[in-house]
A and B are shown apart, each in its own frame.
Chain A
Amino acid sequence: MISNFLSPELGHFTLALACCLAGAQFILPLLGNQKNDFHLMNLAAPLAWGHFFSLMIAFVCLIIAALNDDFSVQNILQNSATDKPLLYKITGIWGNHEGSILLWSFILSFFGILFSSFSHRLSFSLRTKIIAILGGCATGFEIFCLITSNPFLRIWPAPMEGQGMNPLLQDPGLAFHPPILYTGYVGFSVPFAFAVAGLMEKNIDSAWGCWLRPWVILAWIFLTAGITIGSWWSYYVLGWGGYWFWDPVENAALIPWLTGTALLHSTLIVEKREALKTWTVFLSIITFSLALCGTFLVRSGILNSVHAFASDPTRGIFILVLLIIICGGALVLFAWQAPLLPFTALFAPFSREGSIILNNILFCSLATIIFVGTLYPSVLQMINGQTISVGKPFFDKTFVPPALITIFFMAFAPWLAFKKTSLKKLIQPLSFMGIITLVIIIISFIYLHRFLPALATGLAFWVIMGALTDFSSKLSLFKTSFKNNFHRMKNLSLSFYATYIAHIGVAVILLGIIGMAYSQQKIVEVPIGTTLHLAGYEWTLEAVQNHKGPNYLATEAILKINYHHKTICWMFPARHFFPRQQQVITNVAIHTNLIADLYAVLGDSKNINDTSPTYILKLHYNPLAPWIWIGGFIMILGGFLTLIDLYNHKIIKQNSKQNMEQPL
């Protein structure tokens, strides 16, 4: 009954309705602002809610169509099938172009209501303008969705069975990864709206920075999580232990992450010192623009291949025009208004402000390297027809050294005080840390035999020591009583811990990457019962068995892993054959003890019907591999702690304000 009511037509209608409401959310409050009409301005938040609810209905309609296997809907027909497991019927919705644009718009509308619910204390006109600009962005994408990539289009006559989903997508990691990544991308729309609204108000002050910061951190957390999960997914699904490929689509996520990280740091200075205002506004605009370019330009195929562009010109041109309007418009406004922003506070070059400027230069350089490297081949081809490739070996050479320099400064940059720091104070702890780091580099060079990994190991410990040094000096460790130490520890702000936790996360990732460079592997073709030796483990192929999954046939190997003649685990690498798509997906088996991963892949088999069949096995021993993702989540923890700290501060401020306002 309900599912009859929530038909694809209703979804189509509510999508169009949402588009109209978003347009109203954009135009009416700005018009009200122009005419000083309070009632019109007050419409912003209710319109954002209406926009959100109608998109939610549209989204639910699409989910219900997918659950009902309604193959008269073109999008469901192309991406679903009756035998697909329930979870993937739902998550398959965002596994294709049309559905993912709908999800994108839905998240954008969600940020609209999220912002309007948590911004009551922001100045009224700034708040309405921000909601209006979010509505403006949403209008563009919803028109795009309706005109060129409508997920609700019907097809007649409806076939009995759908074409099914790419089996690679049938995986829990991929089911939840796109929404998280999108939330990260879309999250940067709020800083963008802050920047544009601030420019329209011609007033950017520390309150602006204070309100902006939580939104930047929130978006950054999701983008970090999205990239981390994506990298983990490629590690365990692709079957050879790679975790980063410098593929254009990966780069498209990394570029806004880098500028977003720069933004994360510069907003701190706006909040605390009212400096770097113009730059922060610019960075907010650029980060969202890069996030948009990343998802839409790369995925629409404009950058990767001229052919995809030609085969559906409407889609590509539409996206291009949309990007020019949104990003170009914001940048024109910036060029026009930014010189009028009042001048900033003064500070010495050696200060926290100075260190964050260096951070921003380094992060933006890193983003530029990837940006140019990703675009260069297509641009060069357009200019003189020359075809070149830019891939992993290029980025290894050009990206890694500046990244290591950035990590070098990361260790002690947070020590610096605002306004001015005397360098003399830094020399003693730095030289002490430097000596230990040198010793670590030498020892690791003896073990690792290569210079770059040894240097990187030293750097990782350098960062960890930087955090510990500051911690102990804040506690006055060894200089005062233990009780005093403890008391000081309790008084340290949460954001102090958050900073160093996030920085240590980077060091942990670095160690994981170094460990992965020393992975060992073996590829063999063996009969059942063979024992193989790799990295001190004995891997025995005990048996191979077949069974049936919901929409695939599985061949599963049973591996017994012994260490010093003691069985430590069993592993079950498998191959899943999907008859509908005629595709084989390898299902990797991973056993981890958090220090190293044992990683097994089952390959082809030979002489199956014979008495002595043989199987290809790929075995990997990946030391420190899990640390890459653990490090990512440590960084996210740092982000969360900062958010909690900001929230607590706001509550304290509100309480003290209320106390002051109370009559005596």
Chain B
Amino acid sequence: MRLISFVFLLLISFFSIAAYGLNSPNELLPNAQQEKRAEQIGAQLRCLVCQNESIEDSNAELAKDLRKVVRQHIQAGESDKQIIQWMVDRYGNFIRLSPPFNFTTALLWLMPFLAFIIGCLSAFTTFRKMQKEPLPLNENEKKRLEKLMKES
């Protein structure tokens, strides 16, 4: 039964991400500037129990708690970096929706450049091959050419 419901959830999950998490004005910070910052930080953090949803989007209990934590830290006057670092220290890099650049993620981050460069290089080499002068005629072909020229 769990599998069925899982498959089912996957099937509909093309669109179905649970409704916008924030569902009470009580969750908002009174200061609009701070609230905006909280939302920006929240969008970077993954709800750990959901499928690739940020804590701002998810309405799971955990996401609600994490939203609260982020807002508390903001009110305590911490910087965005400090808050994200606090989260990473506690939950690991898994919580960051945009992974940090390091040895293991280098391939991931460099992919846009790699893909483009490899594409350009392969197009260029094929093009060079295409533009190459045709091979000189071999003996048989020369004879045939002469024959044809004579005929005409």
Question: Which residues from chain A sit less than 8 Å from chain B, CB to CB?
Answer: 78-79, 95-97, 100, 166, 168-169, 174, 177, 181, 230-231, 233-234, 237-242, 245-250, 253, 298-301, 304, 308, 311-312, 343-344, 346, 349, 357, 360-362, 364-365, 368-369, 372-373, 376, 380, 384, 386-394, 397-399, 401-402, 523-525, 586, 601, 603-604, 616, 618
Asked whether any CB of chain A lies closer than 8 Å to the CB of B2, the reply is yes
Q: Of B23-31, B72-80, B144-152, which binds chain A?
A: B23-31
CB distance from B37 to the nearest CB of A (A): 15
In the complex, what's the smallest C-beta–C-beta distance from A100 to chain B, in angstroms?
7
Evaluate contact between B15 and A237: CB separation under 8 angstroms: yes
- Are the CB atoms of A97 and B104 closer together than 8 Å? no
The distance from the CB of B17 to the nearest CB of chain A, in whole angstroms, is 5
List of A residues within 8 angstroms of B97 by Cβ: 389-394
Interface 9-residue window, one of B62-70, B87-95, B135-143: B87-95
Q: Looking at the complex, which one of B14, B93, B112 makes contact with A369 (CB distance below 8 Å)?
A: B112
Q: Distance in Å from the Cβ of B40 to the closest Cβ of chain A?
A: 10
A159–B108 CA distance with the chains assembled, in angstroms = 51
Q: How far is the CB of A146 from chain B (nearest CB, A)?
A: 18
**Closest B residue to A173 using CB positions:** B15
Are A96 and B8 closer than 8 Å at their CB atoms? Answer: yes
What is the chain B residue whose CB lies nearest that of A278?
Answer: B126
B85 contacts partner chain A, Cβ-Cβ < 8 Å: no
Would you call A393 and B115 a contact (CB within 8 A)? no
B15 CB contact (under 8 Å) in A100, A174, A298, A618: A174
- Contact present for B123 and A604 (CB under 8 Å): no
Cβ distance B111 to chain A, nearest Cβ, rounded Å: 5
A389-B13 contact, Cβ under 8 Å, with A398-B112, A402-B112:
no
Counting from the closest, the 5 A-B pairs by CB-CB distance are: A240-B20, A391-B97, A361-B119, A393-B98, A365-B115
Q: Which residues of A contact B24 (CB under 8 A)?
A: 523, 525, 603-604, 616
Separation in Å of the A230 CB from the closest CB of chain B? 5
Cα distance A230–B19 in the bound complex, in angstroms: 16
Q: A239-B20, A369-B112, A393-B97 are in contact. Are A97 and B15 (CB under 8 A)?
A: no
- Give the interface centre of A95, A298, A312, A361 by most chain B CB atoms within 10 Å: A361
The closest CB in chain B to the CB of A389 belongs to B46
Q: Check B13–A247 contact: CB distance below 8 A.
A: yes
Number of interface residues of B (CB under 8 A): 54
**Nearest CB of A to B29, in Å:** 12
Residues of B that sit less than 8 Å from A by CB: 2-4, 6-8, 10-20, 22-26, 28, 43-44, 46, 51-54, 57, 92-99, 104-105, 107-109, 111-112, 115-116, 119-120, 123, 127, 130-131
With beta carbons under 8 angstroms apart, the residue of A96, A234, A241 that contacts B17 is A234
Whether the pair B130, A344 counts as a contact (CB closer than 8 A) is yes
**Contacts known (A361-B120, A387-B93, A388-B105); A253 close to B14, Cβ less than 8 A:** yes
Residues of A within 8 A of B116 (CB): 361-362, 365, 402
In the complex, the chain A residue whose C-beta lies closest to that of B23 is A603
Report the separation of the CA atoms of residues A357 and B8 in the bound assembly, to the nearest whole angstrom.
40
Which B-chain residue is minimally distant from A376 (CB atoms)?
B108
**Given A78-B4, A398-B109, are A249 and B120 neighbors across the interface (CB < 8 Å)?**
no
In the bound complex, residues from chain B placing their C-beta under 8 Å from that of A601 are 19
Q: How far is the CA of A373 from the CA of B97 in the complex (A)?
A: 11
Which B residues lie within 8 Å of A246 (CB)? 52
Name the B residues within 8 Å of A387 (CB-CB).
Answer: 92-94
B104 touches A384 (CB 8 A): yes
Chain A residues with Cβ below 8 Å from B7 are 96-97, 299-301, 308
| Cα-based distance from A262 to B2 in the complex (angstroms) | 40
Most A C-beta atoms less than 10 A away, residue of B7, B8, B24: B7
Q: A238-B20, A369-B111 are in contact. Are A388 and B99 (CB under 8 A)?
A: yes
Interface centre among A312, A360, A392, A616 (most CB of B within 10 A): A392
Contacts of A372 in B (CB 8 A): 107-108, 111
Q: How far is the CA of A168 from the CA of B14 in the complex (A)?
A: 12
The chain B residue with its CB closest to the CB of A620 is: B20
Q: Check A230–B14 contact: CB distance below 8 A.
A: yes
Cβ of B115 and Cβ of A364 under 8 Å apart? yes
Q: By the criterion CB–CB under 8 Å, are B119 and A389 in contact?
A: no
Question: Is there contact, CB below 8 Å, between B6 and A388?
Answer: no
Chain A positions within 8 Å of B8 at CB level: 79, 95-97, 166
15 A-B pairs within 8 Å (CB atoms) are namely A97-B8, A245-B52, A249-B14, A253-B14, A301-B7, A304-B51, A362-B116, A362-B119, A369-B112, A389-B52, A390-B99, A391-B46, A393-B97, A399-B112, A603-B24
- Chain A residues near B2 (CB-CB < 8 A): 311
CB distance from B83 to the nearest CB of A (A): 15
B10, B20, B105, B119: which contacts A618 (Cβ < 8 A)?
Answer: B20
Q: Is the CB of A393 within 8 A of B15?
A: no
On whether A380 and B14 interact (CB within 8 A), knowing A301-B6, A361-B119, the answer reads no
CB neighbours of A346 from chain B (8 A):
130-131
Are B11 and A238 in contact, CB atoms less than 8 angstroms apart? no
Question: Complex: how many Å from CA A233 to CA B17?
Answer: 11
Question: Judging by beta carbons under 8 Å apart, are A616 and B23 in contact?
Answer: yes
**B12 and A373: CB pair below 8 A?**
no
Q: A234 contacts which of B15, B52, B105, B111 (Cβ < 8 Å)?
A: B15
Given the known inter-chain contacts A393-B98, A398-B109, please indicate yes or no for A523 contacting B16, CB distance below 8 A.
no
Q: Which of A233, A249, A343, A349 is the most central at the interface, judged by chain B CB atoms within 10 Å of its CB?
A: A249
Residues of B within 8 Å of A586, CB to CB, are 19
Q: A169-B12, A389-B95 are in contact. Are A238 and B17 (CB under 8 A)?
A: yes
